[in-house]
Each structure stands twice: as C-alpha cells, then as structure tokens.
Amino acid sequence: MSVENLQGWRRGWALPDRRPIHDWARDFVQLGGGYARQGAFDIRTCRHLLEPFEAVADERVREVTCRAAIQTLKTLFVEICSLWAIANEPGPIMWTQQDDESAAEHVKGRYRNLLRNCEPVARLLPKNKHDAATCEIYFGDFYIIINGANLNNLQSKSIRWKLNSECWLWKQGLLTHARRRVSAYARDGISKILNESQGSQDGDDFDRLWHDGTSQAWSVQCFGCGTFQPLVFFGRAEGEAAKRACVVWDENAKRDNGQWDEQKVRASTRWLCPRCGHEHTNSAGTRAKWNATGRYSAPRSDRDGKHRSFNWNALLAEDLGQLAVEFIQAGEFKKRGQIAPLRDFYMQRLALPWRNEEQQITRATVELRGDYLLGEFQEKAAERIENEARRMMTIDRQRDHFWAVIRAWRSDGGSRLLWRGKISTTEQAEEVRARFGVEPQLCFEDAQFSTAQVYEDCIRYGWTALHGSGEDSFAHLGRGGQKVQKFFSSIKQTQVPGGYARYMFWASDPVKDILAALVAGTSHPWECGRDHGEEYARHLRGEIKRERISKATGRSEWRWTKQGPNHMWDCEAMQVAVALALQLIPSPEKHDENHILQPAVVGH
C-alpha cells in the first residue's frame, strides 16, 4: 500500500475534531514572524471572527462572505478555515487570490510556515517534494491549489472548498465562475464558499454578493443606554438629523484659517452613541470592552441563512483620532483633485463600497485667475517671480507644429503662467526656452506622437520626454525597500541614434484630476494672467470626464475624454506631472501593503 493510500485510509477511520474552529485553532494554529502578534491564536483578542467561524462550521451554511477593513484579520480568518478544512473536512480546496504572483508570495511569505506549524496538517503534508509545489499541495486523495483570479484557473476542476480573496481586484464575471466550481459538491450538501475583501465598487460583483447574504454589521454595546449599535464612522443622532453621531471631534479644533488642527482633532475624537448621545472615550480600554461584548447585527429577515455575510471596519482596532485625521487629510486631497485617498479611506478603512459618482469632476466652468499681464514678461522673460522654486516648459508635438506652455512654480504649490502659444519648429521652441531661462532638462516634450523625433529633440537640446499613460500609478522603491505607488515613474533612459534620451511616464487621468482642481480654484493658487486669451481658455475646456466600462476590469470608471482642441490642456497636465515629481505639489504615497498604521490586532 502506498504512503498516500495509507494516509487516506487512516483519515477515513480517524474521528474529525468537532470543537468550534476557534477552539481548535487555539491548540493548533501558531502564528510566526509574518504576523503582528506571534504565538497561539487567541479568539479573545478578535471576537469579531467568532461568528464568521461558527458560520463556516455550520452544515446549513453554504457560503460566507466577509467585507472587512485591511489589517483586521480577514486573511488570517481564511487561513485558519483552510487549515481546519484540511484537518477535519478534507476535500479539494482552491484558494484564489488577486493574481498568480500574489498567490505565490503569500504561500512563500507565511502560509507555508502556517501549514508546517499546524500539527494536524503537518502530519498530512506529502513526503514527496513533487507533491508539494509552491502553490499546489497534494495530500493523497485531495489537494489545495492556491492561484490567481483568471479564467484559466477557474475552469475544469470540481472543488469542495472554494476560497476567494481580495475580490475587489477581480475582473467582473470571474467571481461567478469561481463560485460555480463547487456545483458537484453542492448537490451533496457538503460544499463551502468563503469570500473576503475590503470594500469594492458600488454595484460590482462582490458588492452585490455581500448584499445577497445576511448583511450583518459588527455592533457594540453603548456604555450609556446599553443598546447595540453598528460600529460605524458616520452617523446622525436619532431624532436630530442635523446632529452628528458616531466618530466626532470638537469644532473648535479648527484654526482661524479654516484648517483643522490635527493634534486637537486627535485629542478630541470620541464615539457618540446615535441612540442616547453617550460619549465613548477614544482609548484601548474602550476598544477592549467593545471587543469583549460586541456582536453582529441580526441577519436580514428576507435571507434564508445559507449565505452569511459579515462586515467589520477599522474602528474595532484603530485609534479613532488617527482615523479622523486620515479622513480630514483625504478630504483636503480631494479638494486638490486627488480622489484616491478618500476612495481608499472608504474601501480600506471603513470597508464600504465606493460610489463612482464621487470621482466625477464638473468642468462646466474654467476659473482663470491672475492680476497680471503675460505681456509684462516679454521684456523681462528670465526674471524670477517671488518665491519661485522651479520654472518649466512643456511642449505638445503635432504633425507640423507645436503647442507650448511655460509656468513658474513656487515651493508652496502655487504657480504662474508666463507664456503659452503655438510654435512652428523645434528651433523656435529652443529659443523660447532659452529666452525665459528654463533649464534644458526642465523642458519636457510629449512623446506619444512621433516618439523617435521627440527623442532626437531631447538628445539635441537636452530636453526630457514625457509619456502619458493610462496606468493609475507607478511603483517606486521607498524607505526600507518598501514599494510605493506614485503618479509618475522614475526617470529612465533609452539609447537611440545619437545618444541617450531621458523620459518619464505619468498617470494621465489622476494628474488631470489634480489639474482640474487647480483650474477650478479649489487647490493651490494657479495664475494665468488677464491676457491669457480665448484660445488658451478653449484648450482648457477641451476635455471632460465621462463614464465608461473598463475592458480590463469590467467595472464602471471615469476617464478624461477629448471634446475639442486640448493641446495646451495637455501641456498644463504635463506641468502638473512634473510638479508632482519635484514635490512642488504634495501627493499621498500609496504603499503596496495598503495600510497606514500597524493594527492593534493580530496579523492581516
């Protein structure tokens, strides 16, 4: 008898451990260096997982969906469930994550050690190394496959346990394919589907799936009236719609200039019961009491209970004052046209769906400000303006002519238009650059059209090429080797006849969001001069944001679309991209780990 057959025979006669999953995990799940807290798993520190664990073990429940904040144990929840299934409810398991690369990193980073350190699972691990590849482990008569969300991975195999992670990143339609993989086992009533994700887009596959379940929210008991209230960030007092409730802070935390004093915001933040108005202090003690007594809201009465869905957010683990400051900062970035921080706050911290209309920027009017004349600079073109930090020229190449803009930037993010217009030749462009005292490397030419000719210009004159991109961000290596996402790439070089040309990519749509806020007057001072001319103004009205369906994700998205002459609009967008790269305009850095602070609870 082979070792695999002997293992299967022994499992057939072994009695499964029928204790609750969290009790089983306390004895057999050891958390190593990949987790914020090491040692034996302890449900007492994270009771928001108790009811989801019970739902997974309930034979009447076929599907469990968790919509949760980042860094609040949603991935650990799935990890523990997979270990328990291997040891006590064996059958084919497929765990699908956002892509194959992320799946492999997860296995090598921490899941492999979790398998080895769990004694009931470790003794089932195959001795033959060919049966234990990075993302495929065969236990004799069943297996676990960990893969990425693509159509090839989600077809053919019949699965008993289907685990789906970070569904907000999946292309629309794939979640349906994934859930169909359990059909054969579902007919026998022994299948199980687990879905977990942060908040997604309103109305997408994962959002609809969560609402198809029992839709239960983590709730805490008020220390005043004793009622259970959903632990949420936004709320209104019962009977007083104008009065804020839930997470609140003092209005006198505002400075005279209308800006929030973040230190005072942190110090005054508390949680206000929407029922009775009782104020709960922002402290570890409050969070510990909430953890000890919290529970989920009642399941929706119009659901049959076979699909349980749960929601919890960062309030159960994070300092409320820090969350309040993050929300305020995100609001400030939104005023500057940078919507990503607010979207991330909703989806990652509050575990709420994001509504795409929040991204629409109205371009009905263009506010062009400036109490000076461009003509004044013609005779003193190279003279610096007050507090000038950098001066840049941006050029949009056409087939037989060019459009260009020169703008002086201050260190506070404000800027002043010095020159704009149409140019016939590169020689004329170089003459204008020199006359206005722009350093050669700070003269940027759009390389999307006639790329080879643009590279020749850059080598000849020492300019830099720019490529607008449909990407939303680019990876940079930050402190400690951590990857950081920014709206521009690093400066690169390419060898072409005549030498090496410098170039940089920039994220077109996010950068144009920032430009739209500058034009609308909701961001930093952005001056154009009273004599900027109607042609310049018409070009700045040359694009508008429209909704469309992304071919890559199948989701609705808003993209800037040309509706008229837009060449100087493009020149101004390139100005903003470089200003971001030179840190003249502040920009939030998005870490790949998708978190701002380390959590007060275990793991991920």
What CATH number has the domain bearing residue 583? 3.30.420.40
What domain count does the chain have?
3
Shared-domain flag, residues 98 and 168 = yes
Adjacent-strand bridge partners of 67: 197, 311
Q: Does 573 reside within a domain?
A: yes
Q: Report the pLDDT value the prediction gives residue 603, as an integer from 0 to 100.
A: 38
Contact yes or no for 308/214 (Cβ under 8 A) = yes
| Domain end among 193, 215, 237 | 215
Shared-domain flag, residues 99 and 152 = yes
pLDDT tens readout for residues 579-597: 999 999 988 766 444 332 2
Shared-domain flag, residues 68 and 158 = yes
The model's pTM:
0.84
Shared-domain flag, residues 211 and 225 = no
Adjacent-strand bridge partners of 250: none
Shared-domain flag, residues 66 and 138 = yes
Shared-domain flag, residues 340 and 476 = no
Shared-domain flag, residues 119 and 267 = no
362: number of Cβ within 10 Å: 9
Q: Does 75 reside within a domain?
A: yes
Q: Report the pLDDT value the prediction gives residue 147, as an integer from 0 to 100.
A: 95
Shared-domain flag, residues 480 and 530 = yes
Shared-domain flag, residues 154 and 211 = yes
Residue 72, domain CATH? 3.40.50.300
Strands 307-312, 39-40: pairing is unpaired
Distance separating alpha carbons of residues 296 and 310, to the nearest angstrom = 8
Reading the block at residue 212, the tokens are: 């198809």
261: number of Cβ within 10 Å: 14
Contact yes or no for 352/207 (Cβ under 8 A) = no
Distance separating alpha carbons of residues 121 and 79, to the nearest angstrom = 12
Q: Does 515 reside within a domain?
A: yes
Task: Give me the residue label for tokens 């402190």.
Answer: 479
Q: Report the pLDDT value the prediction gives residue 597, as an integer from 0 to 100.
A: 26
Q: Does 562 reside within a domain?
A: yes
- Residue 178: which domain range? 3-215
Q: Report the pLDDT value the prediction gives residue 16, as an integer from 0 to 100.
A: 80
| Side-chain-side CA neighbours of residue 253 (13 Å) | 18
Q: Does 543 reside within a domain?
A: yes
Distance separating alpha carbons of residues 164 and 504, to the nearest angstrom = 37
Shared-domain flag, residues 185 and 251 = no
Adjacent-strand bridge partners of 590: 485
Shared-domain flag, residues 276 and 192 = no
Q: Does 310 reside within a domain?
A: no
Reading the block at residue 179, the tokens are: 């859930």
Q: Does 598 reside within a domain?
A: no
For the chain of 604 residues, list the mean pLDDT of each consecutive stretch of 10: 53 74 97 88 97 97 98 97 97 96 93 95 84 83 94 88 97 96 94 98 96 98 97 95 95 92 97 97 97 96 95 98 97 89 96 77 61 87 94 96 97 96 97 97 95 96 96 86 89 92 96 93 91 94 88 86 95 97 85 35 36
Shared-domain flag, residues 66 and 85 = yes
Give buried/exposed letters for 276-309 (b at 16+ CB in 10 A, else e).
beeebebeeebbeebbeebebbebeeebeeebbb
- Classify burial at 132, counting beta carbons within 10 Å of its beta carbon; exposed 0-12, middle 13-18, buried 19 or more: middle
Q: Does 337 reside within a domain?
A: yes
